[in-house]
């Protein structure tokens, strides 16, 4: 193997970066190139080399590389320019050579860190600013009220608990890590300003840094896994003990067909989260020459205390009623609560079960009949 | 020229070295001579100060040969250097009481 890649320390860890490259050279791996995350090494005989890092702002580069004059001055002092990426540029000189340290006084080196500090601060503020702008844009231009947006978040929290938790943890970890990096760089800056020279061989914190990055990656991938693969879709059975109803329960016992809009078959998507079980059903039947359809979201919450808030979230997130105010309460035997809205959507609650279903009913009487069918199903399941 | 604060040691010696035009490494050698080996300027310090002084008009580029750039001090640079020299002389004069104290 004539070459290999290594994960180098972060940009703010100047002394650690220098030690990392010096150690690699001592093991017979000479730095060949530096990327954003990885450095490339080529195999050589073990060499005792001093590596030094220079922080250079992108606006001081000429066509992406260090100015020739700068390389020449360093070269004449005994420092060979190796490579650079982003703000970091690397020089080397054999151990024991007369090449002087880059700076006469640490304060002068502190001045070079200003661009890195600015960049780090932008990296810290950007995701927070992005979130804030998205939230403002969503509130201002999506047509949803803050109440509907907060209901949406609550619904998502219940039906995608693991995803929301893991994504939130990932975000918190990333932000904490950014804060830690800002703190470390500021500490280095202050020390240099006070006249303490850069430690060229500090204790390595790479293990911590790599662990945090791995944790972020694992959390993020697990979150995506939960989001995309935790549900189970299957063709809708002819009958089921699960707490959803069929068109047949409403008297429409025609033959199953496909959606005339999407061409999809009747399906059930089941998902279980830490807070709820969730059945999302779409059913299509041909009945007296018409296509009849029923869309239904049924939930069993694991904590009954969440039911009132969740029911409101479901109503606020409904496709046709403008909000919970668009629903009219009705009394149905066997149900704790029930609502109907503009001949399209009904909501039913019993114990820790909540359902919202959509169908183009012709009158209120049919909607009441549908809610009674739900009551019958739920009470028979019990 | 704007009111001038005290110069850093690096700026002072680089301006002194540039009383005779020269390039980066030559300046470093000259500074070492001028300071009798006391100051060995690093390339980071030298390049940083040269870039800043060039922007401030204290030095100017006179010629380029291959990767080397030759600089010389400007009139403004000379004036700044003289002001700093006078300031340093004044500091030394003011400190003479220390010698008088030593004789007592």
Radius of gyration of the CA atoms of chain A, in A: 32
Would the CA dihedral through A363, A366, A371, A372 be positive or negative?
Answer: positive
Residue A365: its H or E element: helix A364-381
Of A54, A76, A108, the CB nearest to B24: A76
**In chain A, which residues touch B (CB < 8 A)?**
54, 60, 68-74, 76-77, 79, 100-105, 108-109, 111-112
Average pLDDT over residues A139-146: 76
Cβ <8 Å between A77 and B43 = yes
**Global ipTM:** 0.82
Residues of chain B found within 8 Å of residue A108, distances taken between Cβ atoms = 10, 44-45, 48
pLDDT at B104 over 70: no
Mutate to test the interface with B, among A66, A69, A75, A89 (most CBs of B within 10 A): A69
Among candidates A104, A232, A124, which has minimal Cα distance to A183? A124
Q: Which of A31-45, A151-165, A199-213, B48-62 has the lowest mean pLDDT?
A: A199-213
Q: What residue of A is the nearest CA neighbor of B38?
A: A104
**Are the C-beta atoms of A30 and A39 separated by less than 8 Å?**
no
CA–CA distance, B2 with B10 (Å, rounded to integer): 20
Mutate to test the interface with A, among B42, B46, B59, B63 (most CBs of A within 10 A): B42
Residue A326: its H or E element: none
pLDDT tens readout for residues B66-83: 778 899 999 999 999 999
**Are the C-beta atoms of B51 and A54 separated by less than 8 Å?**
no
Left if phi > 0, otherwise alpha if psi is -120 to 50, otherwise beta: which for A12? Answer: alpha
Q: Write down the number of H helices and E strands in chain A.
A: 9, 15
Mean model confidence pLDDT for chain A: 91
CA–CA distance, A21 with A34 (Å, rounded to integer): 11
pLDDT tens readout for residues A302-353: 999 999 999 999 998 887 766 777 899 999 999 999 999 987 899 999 999 9
Among candidates A104, A111, A76, A106, which has minimal Cα distance to A91? A76
Cβ <8 Å between A103 and B28 = no
Query: A257: which DSSP letter?
Result: -
Average pLDDT over residues B29-56: 92
Radius of gyration of the CA atoms of chain B, in A: 16
CA–CA distance, A291 with A262 (Å, rounded to integer): 13
CA–CA distance, A22 with A19 (Å, rounded to integer): 5
Cβ <8 Å between A100 and B41 = yes
C-beta atoms surrounding B69 within 10 Å: 19
Of B24, B39, B44, the CB nearest to A108: B44
What pLDDT is recorded for position A144? 75
pLDDT at A124 over 90: no
Cβ <8 Å between A108 and B10 = yes
CA–CA distance, A174 with A231 (Å, rounded to integer): 28
Among candidates A342, A340, A332, which has minimal Cα distance to A372? A332
Distance from CA of A79 to the nearest CA of B (A): 9
CA–CA distance, A211 with A196 (Å, rounded to integer): 29
Q: B18: pLDDT confidence band, cut at 50, 70 and 90?
A: very high
Distance from CA of B10 to the nearest CA of A (A): 8
C-beta atoms surrounding A260 within 10 Å: 9
**Are the C-beta atoms of A230 and A268 separated by less than 8 Å?**
no
Among candidates B5, B92, B86, B9, which has minimal Cα distance to B46? B9
Among candidates A147, A195, A118, which has minimal Cα distance to A313? A147
Tell me which residue has tokens 């240099």.
Answer: A192
Distance from CA of B102 to the nearest CA of A (A): 32
CA–CA distance, B28 with A84 (Å, rounded to integer): 25
pLDDT tens readout for residues A162-203: 999 999 999 999 889 889 999 999 999 999 999 999 999 898
Distance from CA of A111 to the nearest CA of B (A): 9
Cβ <8 Å between A102 and B44 = yes
Query: A47: which DSSP letter?
Result: -
CA–CA distance, B22 with A348 (Å, rounded to integer): 88
Mutate to test the interface with A, among B43, B50, B68 (most CBs of A within 10 A): B43
Work out the angle at residue A365's Cα, subtended by the Cα atoms of residues A360 and A371, and round it to the nearest 5 degrees. 75
Residues of chain A found within 8 Å of residue B48, distances taken between Cβ atoms = 108, 111-112
Tell me the HSE value of A100 on the side-chain side, using a 13 A CA sphere.
Answer: 21
Q: How far is CA B44 from CA A98, A318, B54, B69, B85, in A?
A: 15, 64, 15, 16, 25
Cβ <8 Å between B45 and A103 = yes
Distance from CA of B69 to the nearest CA of A (A): 7
pLDDT at A381 over 70: no
C-beta atoms surrounding A91 within 10 Å: 26
Helix axes A146-159, A161-193, angle to 10 degrees: 100
**Are the C-beta atoms of A159 and A227 separated by less than 8 Å?**
no
Among candidates A305, A308, A302, which has minimal Cα distance to A349? A308
Tokens of B39: 């100051």
Cα-Cα-Cα-Cα torsion B78, B83, B89, B92, nearest 10 degrees, comes to -130
What pLDDT is recorded for position B1? 46
pTM of the predicted protein model: 0.78
Cβ <8 Å between A54 and B44 = yes
Among candidates A31, A11, A9, which has minimal Cα distance to A22? A31
* 3-state SS assignment for residue A160: coil
**Are the C-beta atoms of A54 and A24 separated by less than 8 Å?**
no
């Amino acid at each position: 193997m004539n070459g290999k890649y290594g994960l180098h320390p972060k940009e703010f860890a100047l002394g650690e970066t220098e030690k990392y490259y010096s150690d690699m050279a001592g093991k017979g791996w000479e730095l060949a190139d530096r990327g954003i995350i990885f450095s490339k090494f080529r195999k050589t005989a073990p060499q005792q080399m001093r590596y030094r890092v220079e922080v250079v702002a992108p606006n001081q580069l000429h066509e992406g590389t260090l100015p020739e004059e700068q390389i020449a001055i360093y070269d004449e002092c005994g420092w060979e320019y190796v490579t650079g990426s982003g703000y970091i540029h690397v020089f080397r000189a054999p151990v024991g050579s007369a090449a002087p340290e880059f700076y006469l006084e640490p304060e002068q080196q502190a001045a070079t860190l200003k661009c890195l500090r600015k960049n780090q601060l932008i990296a810290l503020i950007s995701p927070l600013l992005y979130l804030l702008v998205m939230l403002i844009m969503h509130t201002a231009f999506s047509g949803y009220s803050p109440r509907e947006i907060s209901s949406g978040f609550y619904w998502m929290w219940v039906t995608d608990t693991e995803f929301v938790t893991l994504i939130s943890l990932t975000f918190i970890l990333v932000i904490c890590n950014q804060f830690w990096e800002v703190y470390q760089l500021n500490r280095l800056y202050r020390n240099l300003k006070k006249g303490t020279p850069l430690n060229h061989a500090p204790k390595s914190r790479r293990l911590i840094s790599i662990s945090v990055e791995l944790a972020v990656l694992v959390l993020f991938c697990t979150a995506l896994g939960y989001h995309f693969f935790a549900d189970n879709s299957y063709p809708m059975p002819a009958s089921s003990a699960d707490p959803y109803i069929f068109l047949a329960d409403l008297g429409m016992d025609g033959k199953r067909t496909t959606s005339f809009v999407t061409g999809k078959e009747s399906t059930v998507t089941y998902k279980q989260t830490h807070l709820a079980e969730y059945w999302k059903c779409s059913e299509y039947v041909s009945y007296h020459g018409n296509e009849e359809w029923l869309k239904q979201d049924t939930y069993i919450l694991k904590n009954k205390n969440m039911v009132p808030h969740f029911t409101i979230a479901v109503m606020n997130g409904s496709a046709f009623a403008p909000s919970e105010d668009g629903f009219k309460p009705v009394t149905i035997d066997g149900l704790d609560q029930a609502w109907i809205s503009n001949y399209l959507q009904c909501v039913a609650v019993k114990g820790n079960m909540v359902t919202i279903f959509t169908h183009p009913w012709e009158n209120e009487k049919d909607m009441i009949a549908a809610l009674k069918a739900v009551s019958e199903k739920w009470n028979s399941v019990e | 020229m704007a009111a001038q604060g005290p110069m850093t040691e690096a700026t002072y010696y680089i301006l002194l070295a540039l009383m005779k035009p020269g390039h980066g490494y030559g300046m470093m050698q000259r500074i070492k001579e001028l300071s009798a080996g006391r100051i060995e300027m690093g390339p980071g310090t030298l390049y940083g100060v040269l870039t800043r002084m060039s922007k401030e008009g204290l030095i100017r580029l006179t010629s380029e040969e291959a990767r080397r750039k030759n600089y010389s001090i400007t009139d403004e640079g000379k004036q700044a250097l003289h002001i700093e020299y006078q300031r340093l002389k004044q500091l030394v004069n003011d400190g003479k009481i220390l010698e008088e104290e030593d004789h007592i």
